Structure 1
Amino acid sequence: MGADSSSKQRAWVLFDRIVDEAAVDSEYSNPWVIDMTGALRYEPDFATLERLLGVPLLLRAATTTGVPALALDVWIAYELRRAGFDRNAVWPRATHPRILPAPVAKLLEKGALPAKMQAELLARLEKKGNIKGVTHSYASILGKNYLKQVDVILTDWDTGPEVLISTKRMDSSYGKNAPNRIEESYGDAKNLRLRHPMAALGFVFGLRNDVFDKELATADWLLDLLAKLGREDDAYHATCVILIEYGDEVLPPGDNGADDEDRAVSAGLEPADEDEDEPLVIADALIDNDLKWLPKVRIDHSRTPAALSPARFLALMVEHVLDATPVNLHKQARDLRRAPNPERDDPATSAAS
C-alpha cells in the first residue's frame, strides 16, 4: 500500500468520525437561521470544518497525497447533506464507497431486496476497494469537450448533475501557483457550464492566510479574480475562499503547499487509480486518541471578503438547486429552509473562539 493511499485511508477514518460526531442522534442541524433583522441566512458549521482541516496536519500528509484538499470536499459534501439533500445523491458519500450510483444505493435500503441478498451486497460494497464500473473513488463528469474530475457533486438518475463543485488548496508558493490555478478554473467552468447549464456550478479555494504576510499583492490579485469568477455569465454561479490559519510547526516535512493533482487524470485523459485497498478498520479507542491530538486550525473570517464567504456560497448553491427544480423535488431541503432556527451567536465569532 503506497504512502498516498495509506494517508488517504487513515484520513477517511478520521473524517468519518468527525462528521458522525457533528450529528445529534444521526440528524444534522438545520443550517438556515433568521438573523436579528429578520433576514434568512445560511450558517455553516465552521467548528466541524476546523476539525476536518486538522486531520491532514495530524497525519503530516503533504499536499501531493490529496488529503488536505479532501478535507474541503468532505466538509462541502457534509454541508449539502446538512442542507437536506439526499445523502446518497451527494458525492463523496459519508461512507465507503464514496461514489455510488443512487439506484444502487437504493438497493441497500430496507425492504429493497431479500435480507440475505441485501446483507451480501452491502458486505461486498463496504469491504471491497472499488468495483469496476460500479463504485469509484473519484467522479468524472463530461463537460462540453472533455471529461472533468469534479470534487463534490449532487446527482441522480432522474435529474442528472445538479451541483458541481471544484475545490483547490494552496498553502504556500502563492505567486508561483496562483496563476495556474485561476487559468485552470476558468477553463473548467466553461467546459462544465456549457454542457450542464442548469447545474449549480461552484468553485472553492482553500488558502492559508499567511499569504497576506508573505505575498500581499498575490493575495489581493487572487481574491479579486476569485470574486470575478463568480460574476461571469458563462463561469461559476458562486465562488468561495476559505482562509486557513495554523502554525508552521505542524507543516508536513518538505511540502511545498501546491495542489499537485494529476492533470491528465483531472481532465479525463487517464483513468484515476480505482484499484484502492479495502477501507481501514481502526479501533474506536485509537480514533478517539488521534482526534484528541488534532492540531489547532482556525478559519480567518475577518479577512474573508463578503462576496467570497462560505455562508454566501453555500446559500447560493442550495437556492440555485431549489429554484431550478419543481417543488416536489428536494422536499427536505425546502422544508429546512422554510423552518429556520432563530439566530444564536455570530457564527464567525463562535467559530473563531
Structure 2
Amino acid sequence: MAVRPSTKAEAWVLFDHIVANAALGGVYGNPWIIGPDEQLHFDPDYETLAQLLGVPLHLKAGTQSGVPALALDVWLSYELRRAGFEVDQVWPRPTNPRILPAAVAALIKSLPAGLRGQVANRIAKNTSIPNVTSSSAAILGKNYLKQVDVIITDWATGPELLVSTKRMDSSYGKNAPHRIEESYGDAKNLRLRHPLAALGFVFGLRSDILQTEPKTADWLFDLLVKLGQEDDAYHATCLVLMEYADDAALPEAQDEPPPAGILEPGPEPEGEGEDVSASILDATVDQIIKRLPKVKILSDRTPTELAPSRFLAAMVMRVLGATPVNMHEEARRRRAAVLSK
C-alpha cells in the first residue's frame, strides 16, 4: 500500500519549484541596488516570498506541521544565495538533504562521475543519515542545544549566521508572550557561545492583528525592535507582515505545542526527518502554484527597524565583516559590483 506523503514533504515539492523558477538554471539575481537616496540597499524578492507563503495556506498546514514557518526559512536561505553565499553553505539547501555538511558536499563533488552519481542519489533519497545529513539542525549555545532554522556554518569557521523564525497567524494575545519570552532566552544562549556569528530573528505575522488586536500589535512590534537593539540579544530582527483573505486562513491555532524535549547533538535520529518524499508532475505543480492563495507583504506597515531589507543587509554585512576578504568572495563581489557603477 502506498504511503501518503507528509504535509511537509508535499510543501517541499512546491517550495523547491517556486525557488527553482525564481533562480532559473541556478542563477540568482543580485539583490543589491542603489536606492533613491543614493545609498546601497538590499532589495528582497517579495514576489517569491508571497508565493512561498501561499503554500501552507494551500495545504491548510497548521502550525504543528512546521510548514508555515518553513516558508520563511526557505525564503531566507534563497535570499542569502542571492546575496552570493554558495548553495551548500546555506541551510536549508534547495534540494534534499536540507542539511549537508560542506565537507561532505565537497567530497561528493570530488568523486568520479559514476560513483558521484550513486552517492548523490543515495543522499538525496535519505533525509536523515545519522551523523551525515538531516532535515533540521541543533546548534550548541552557552547552556543547551537549540534548533536553528537558517544557518551558515562549516567545521573550519563554526557558525557564521544563525537565524530563528517564528510565525503567528491567530490567537495573538495568547501566544505572543510565549514567542517573545522564548526568543529572548534563545538569543542569549546562542550569542554567548557564538558572539561573532550573525544572529537574527524573523517573525511572520498575519496583518489582521492590526485590526483585531492593535494594542497587541504595538506591544509586539516594540519588543521585536528591542530584541534587535540589546547587546546580548539579536544583531537584527525582522517582521514579515502578511495579508491574505479569510477564506485562505490556516486552521485556528491551538495552545503552544509542547517542547520537543532535550535535544541531542547532531542531526535527528534516522527515521525522524521528512518521512516520505512527494512525487508530483511538474505540470501539476505549475498549476498548483498558479492557484496558490494570494499573499501580500505589507512593507509600508512594517516599522523601519524591522524591515526585511534592513534585516537582510545587516545579516550579510555581519557575516562579511567577521571574515577575511578571501572568504565569501562572491558575496563581496556582488555588493561591490553595484557600488562601482
| Common topology (TM > 0.5) | yes
User: Does the 8 A contact of 1:83 with 1:318 survive in 2?
Assistant: yes
- The equivalences for 1:1-353 within 5 A come to 6-109=6-109, 112-252=110-250, 254-256=251-253, 260-265=256-261, 268=263, 272=268, 274-275=270-271, 276-340=274-338
In structure 2, runs of 5+ residues without a counterpart are: none
- For residues 63 and 100 of structure 1, the distance between their equivalents in structure 2, rounded to whole angstroms, comes to 26
Give deviations 1:53-95, integer Å, cap 9, x for gaps: 0000111111111100000000001111110012101000000
Deviation, 1:26, is 2.2
- Name the CA distance, whole Å, in 2 between partners of 1:37 and 1:64: 43
Equivalent pairs counted in the alignment come to 337
Cα deviations by residue, 1:309-329 (Å, 9 ceiling, x for unpaired): 000000000000111110000
Give the secondary structure class of the aligned counterpart of 2:147: strand
| Contact 2:98–2:127 (CA under 8 A) maintained in structure 1 | no
1:346 aligns to what? none
Query: Partners in 1 of 2:96 and 2:252 — Cα distance?
Result: 28
Q: Tell me the distance in 1 between the aligned counterparts of 2:61 and 2:41.
A: 35
CA distance in 2, matches of 1:214, 1:180: 19
Shift of 1:12: 0.1
Amino acid at match of 1:7: T
- Aligned-partner residue type, residue 162 of structure 1: E
Whether the 8 Å contact between 2:101 and 2:133 is mirrored in structure 1 is: yes
| SS across alignment from 2:299 | coil
Residues 244-271 of structure 1: CA deviation (Å, up to 9, x unaligned): 010110123x43277x455235x62698
Aligned letter for 2:211? D
Match of 1:204, SS? strand
Q: Is the 8 A contact 2:18 2:51 kept in 1?
A: yes
| Aligned-partner Cα distance in 2 for 1:169–1:2 | 29
Partner Cα distance (2:168, 2:135) in 1: 22
C-alpha displacement at 1:340, in angstroms? Answer: 1.9
Percent identity of paired positions between Structure 1 and Structure 2: 59
The one-letter amino acid paired with 1:268 is L
Equivalent residues of 1:172, 1:257 under 8 A apart: no
CA distance in 2, matches of 1:176, 1:274: 35
Distance 1:123 1:269, change over 3 A: closer
Distance 1:287 1:219 in 2: 36
CA distance in 2, matches of 1:273, 1:177: 30
Report the equivalent of 1:351: none
Stretches of structure 1 that go unaligned for 5 or more consecutive residues are: 344-353
Q: Deviation string for 1:230-250 (max 9, x for gaps)?
A: 000011000001000101101
SS in 1 for 2:73: helix
Partner of 1:347: none
